Amino acid sequence: MVDVRPFRALRPQPELAPRLVSPPYDVVDVEEARAYAAGDPDSFLRISRPEIDFPSSLDAHADEVYAQGRRNLEEFQARGVLVRDEVPTYSVYRQVMGGVVQVGVVAVVAVADYDAQRIRIHEYTRPDKELDRVRHIDALDAQDEPVFLISRRSADVDAVLAQVTAREPAVDLVSRDGISHTVWVVDDPAEVGALRLALAATGDLYVADGHHRSAAASRVHAQRVDASGEHDAFMAVIFPLDSVHVMAYNRVVADLLGRTPASFLEAMGEHFDIVESPVAVLPRRRHEFGVHLAGQWYVATARDEVVDEGDELGCLDVSVLQERVLAPLLGIENPRTDERIAFVGGIRGTAEIERLVSSGAAEVGFTLFPTSTHELVVVADAGMVMPPKSTWFEPKLASGLFVHTIN
């Protein structure tokens, strides 16, 4: 069983929550973060992206940047913007984006369960990004953004959540992107106890989004293993896997490795049926891909003999594209490190791929059919990992609603 605990969260004063709430650190670049937080001393981006307090000429990974994040967190507490729970609590967190409604539990989970693979991953991390999160958490003495976990659905968890969400929430707001965020605090001892037992019985958990944060939490714990504090756990929101919304993580590549558009399409045609499309392509089924180059969209469908459905990893569309196109035709052998490939979150749509190709930043773009949570669980349970950037979960967890201090 996975140890899913309540904790004494730092959370915003309810009336200040609309000002604190911000996008996750890794979906905005520094200039977008600077613009988002402009003129607002209470923006949580001052903690999650403290480089916005410095001139753009300063290296975002300089020691003073991480130290500034710590000072800003302390300042928010000193001013009463963030207030600590008096007792360990869970929170119930609901997000609504159009027709997508997901309700999860905010808790901390044991690093030991992550290290023992009871909290399962589906992709590897990038060393530079993982180190950045290690330094950030270590400097803050806190985890300021939760990891997005998914679990199998539990009737016992649902029963407690139905009871909690029937009450008035502590926070109810709509962020600038139009997503609704509602939070209920669970501090009743009976409900806390029932929820802890029910969560432990759901079985293994799966990292949906936050591989770098969870890996960094494990490393920080290893560094502090003989020190006091709550570094043996990391903050997460746990959603039932059948309620979350997965979008594709699309790709663009800088060049065609010397091929012309016509010769590239001809080479691709050895394994795919390719037809022109008069409109931008969002694949409608597995093994269908959109290809955009030279101002034209194409639909590329993998032939039946290309895909081995008995291969849990190889039959994923991200694997088919990698093994049949990106590696052999475009020379992208390691998409984790190759600077010629970039990844475009599904929420940005086809327009972003068209922009990158038309601007010359990329020569070809690919759209994919989304990887399902079922495929994620099958791969993770088999102890395998997908190619990087295989899933884009939306809506993202807002930052600024919860902080877990570890010292």
**pLDDT tens sequence across 148-173:** 999 999 999 999 999 999 999 999 99
- pLDDT score of 1: 82
Question: Is a pLDDT exceeding 90 seen at residue 31?
Answer: yes
Using pLDDT thresholds of 50, 70 and 90, give the confidence band for residue 4.
Answer: very high
56/352 Cα distance (integer angstroms): 25
Contacts of 131 (CB under 8 A, 6+ apart): none
102/208 Cα distance (integer angstroms): 14
* Exposed / middle / buried, residue 84 (Cβ in 10 Å: 0-12, 13-18, 19+): exposed
344/367 Cα distance (integer angstroms): 9
Residue type, 317: D
Using pLDDT thresholds of 50, 70 and 90, give the confidence band for residue 61.
Answer: very high
Q: What secondary structure letter does DSSP report for 351? A: H
Using pLDDT thresholds of 50, 70 and 90, give the confidence band for residue 333.
Answer: very high
**pLDDT tens sequence across 166-221:** 999 999 999 999 999 999 999 999 999 999 999 999 999 999 999 999 999 999 99
Element (H, E) at 34: helix 30-36
**Mean pLDDT value of segment 258-287:** 97
Q: Are strands 249-253 and 341-345 parallel, antiparallel or unpaired?
A: antiparallel
Which overall architecture, per CATH, does domain 249-369 show? 2-Layer Sandwich (3.30)
Question: Is a pLDDT exceeding 90 seen at residue 39?
Answer: no
314/11 Cα distance (integer angstroms): 43
Whether the upstream peptide bond of residue 395 has omega within 30° of 0, thus cis, is: yes
Residue type, 319: S
Residue ranges per structural domain of the chain = 4-246+394-405, 249-369
End-to-end, the C-alpha distance of the chain in Å comes to 26
- pLDDT score of 274: 98
Element (H, E) at 93: strand 90-97
Q: How far is CA 128 from CA 102, 152, 400, in A?
A: 31, 32, 24
406/245 Cα distance (integer angstroms): 31
Q: Give the 3-state secondary structure percentages of the chain, helix then strand then coil, rounded to 5.
A: 35, 25, 40
Tell me the percentage of the chain whose pLDDT exceeds 90.
Answer: 95
- pLDDT score of 391: 94
Secondary structure class of 216 (helix, strand, coil)? helix
Number of H helices, E strands in the chain: 14, 21
Cβ pair 50, 73 in contact under 8 A: no
Residue of 205, 24, 224 lying closest to 108 (CA atoms): 205
**pLDDT tens sequence across 78-136:** 999 999 999 999 999 999 999 999 999 999 999 999 999 999 999 998 899 999 999 99
The torsion angles phi and psi of 206, rounded to 5 degrees, stand at: -130, 135
The length of the chain in residues reads 407
* Exposed / middle / buried, residue 13 (Cβ in 10 Å: 0-12, 13-18, 19+): middle
Residue found under tokens 């998914």? 150
104/396 Cα distance (integer angstroms): 13
- pLDDT score of 37: 94
Adjacent-strand bridge partners of 273: 301
